[in-house]
Amino acid sequence: MIQLDQVVKRYRTRAGRHTVLDGVSLSVSKGDKIGILGRNGAGKSTLIRLISGAELPTRGTIVRGMSVSWPLAFGGAFQGSLTGIDNVRFICRVYDSNFKDALPFVEDFCELGKFLKEPVKTYSSGMRARLAFAISMAIEFDCFLIDEVISVGDTRFHEKCRHELFDKRRDRSMIIVSHEARNIREHCSRACVLTDGQLREFADVDTAYAHYQAA
Amino acid sequence: MSTAPQATSVASGLRIQTRVTGALIMREIVTRYGRHNIGFMWVFAEPMMFTLGVVIVWSLLRTHSTRLPVIPFVVTGYSSLLLWRNTIGRCGNAVEPNRSLLHHRNVRVLDLFVARLLLEVAGASISFLTLATLITTAGFMPPPYDIFPMLIAWLLLAWFAMSMGLIVGALSVLSDAVDRVWHVIGYLFLPISGMFFMVDWLPQRIQNLALFVPTVNCIELLRGAYFGPGIHAHYDLPYLVTVNLVLLLVGLVAVKGVAGTVEGE
């Protein structure tokens, strides 16, 4: 269970304080698949970072009763001067996972071959995304946070990711934020819209999408 | 503001802290020294080479006053210098290269500093210990008069350096200029840091001023314990502990302050 209660997030900007989230509450049970729609700058990534715990709310509380991933499926969360393998090692240490078990899976899944021994800063964005996805699948979480649905690599690799995350890990919770409805419609059972710092939940994805389009 | 990151006890919190700090230290070692040749041993090989080089140059040039044997004087002084200067200096750019690691909940800005501080202090300490042992065994410097106060002096200096490191590190998050200016300050601070003199050699009026400098107190205590009753060391321990406490507090508050402004890239 993850519980957000009246979460407020403000940032200081040159033009004064900017409120991104203004009293967001949400409760996620085991197995829930929640899609959150929002336009660019609506605060989707901020919300995901707060749920992950990478940032702290200005006000309100977030209780994580299950293990939660970092925001997945982009090139971040890596240290550029470390090699791919050293990044796997680092992340295993931080999450108390067994590196020896994780490495063969990552090697096999990301298909980066000898480049795993090169610094991540030399990778293309596609290679980085493949490594990121492979590492995040090597560590088990109860809830996955997904910031814009993974468009990793070519169609075949994309399908492999979809299978690994959405089929094999059907029983886990997921929170997907996106600015478009297709992936949310495909994978989510609950749907919310984030506008003006407020999160509103709708009965189904289509109602949410209609509201999102009208807003 | 209160966020409960799962129900964590103090024990499991400590376990996570140790794990994350360890992972960050390993990450530092690998990117700084790689796995080539002697790898992580550079952590202390580098300061050792530095100190040894200075010892040799000073001994050959004989520029030093003859009031104390030159080799132990330089070994104690230069090792102390490297302890505070490297430790503080490494905090200048600690956050930026690691920003992407802040995506992971258990990695906090303070951890980035702590990892570097521990690594530098360990490097300088192993370097001092190894070098002093080697030179003493080789017969070029007498064994210390009393080791325990030397250990206290070393720890107090490390405490000072780590507190200053947090302050300089936190400020450099706000502006790159801080890192650069610190290097200049560190250099200009050299002559008054206590490395080149004993307080007893100074005129009375300047002695009191010199004892305001925290590092001077540490080095006096260190050398006083090393050389024994043959020399007169001046230091003010209550003052030193007070300064260290205040600096540490300021450092922690400063890091907490800037941590809220830093986010993963």
Nearest C-alpha neighbor of B47 from the set B82, B76, B72, B74? B82
For A70, the enclosing helix (H) or strand (E) is strand A68-72
State whether B104 and A82 contact (CB < 8 Å). no
Tell me: pLDDT of A25 over 70. yes
The 10s digit of each residue's pLDDT in A86-105 is 999 999 999 999 999 999 99
Task: Verify whether the Cβ–Cβ distance A78 to B264 is below 8 Å.
Answer: no
Query: Which residues numbered 85-124 in B keep a CB inside 8 Å of some CB on A?
Result: 97-98, 100-107
pLDDT digits (tens, 9 = 90+) for B206-215: 999 999 999 9
The two most distant CA atoms of chain A are separated, in Å, by: 51
Q: Do A57 and B3 touch (CB under 8 A)?
A: yes
* CB-CB neighbors (< 8 A) of A52 in chain B: 103, 105
> Which residues in chain A (59-78) have CB-CB distances under 8 A to chain B?
59-65, 68, 70-71, 76-78
Q: How far apart (Å, rounded) are the C-alpha atoms in residues A204 and A193?
A: 11
Is residue A81 less than 8 Å (CB to CB) from chain B?
yes
On the question of pLDDT at B186 being above 70, the answer is yes
Predicted TM-score (pTM) of the model is 0.89
Tell me if B103 and A86 make a contact (CB, 8 A cut-off): no
Sheet of A59-64, strands arranged across: A16-28, A2-13, A59-64
Q: Is the pLDDT of residue B63 over 80?
A: no
- Rounded to the nearest angstrom, the gap between the alpha carbon of residue A119 and the centroid of all alpha carbons in its chain is 24
Query: Is A57 in contact with B30 (Cβ distance < 8 A)?
Result: no
B1 confidence band (pLDDT: 50, 70, 90): very low
Q: Which residue has the higher pLDDT, B51 or B66?
A: B51
Nearest Cα of chain B lies from the Cα of A210 at a distance, in angstroms, of 33
Beta A2-13 vs A68-72: how paired, if at all?
unpaired
CA distance A54 to chain B (A): 4
Q: Cβ(A50)–Cβ(A70) under 8 Å? A: no
Q: What is the mean pLDDT of residues B137-154?
A: 95
Tens of pLDDT, residue by residue over B29-57, are: 988 887 777 778 888 888 888 888 988 88
Task: Return the structure tokens found at B26.
Answer: 């390993």
Residue type, A80: G
Model confidence at A75, pLDDT cuts 50, 70, 90, reads low
**Residue B3: pLDDT above 50?**
no
The domain segmentation of chain B, as residue ranges, is 3-263
Instruction: State pLDDT tens for residues A162-206.
Output: 898 889 998 999 999 988 888 888 888 899 999 988 999 988 888
Residue A18 one-letter amino acid: H
Residues above pLDDT 70, as percent of chain B: 95
pLDDT at B2 over 60: no
Is A5 in contact with A60 (CB distance < 8 Å)? yes
More confident: B38 or B19: B19
* pLDDT reported for residue A150: 61
Q: How many CB atoms lie within 10 A of CB A32?
A: 18
Q: Which residues pair with A63 in a beta bridge?
A: A3, B4
More confident residue, A79 or B144: B144
The interface predicted TM-score of the complex, written ipTM, equals: 0.86
Mean per-residue pLDDT over chain B, rounded: 89
pLDDT value, residue A117: 92
| Residue (of B77, B88, B83) closest to B54 by Cα position | B77
- Residue of B1, B22, B98 lying closest to A93 (CB–CB): B22
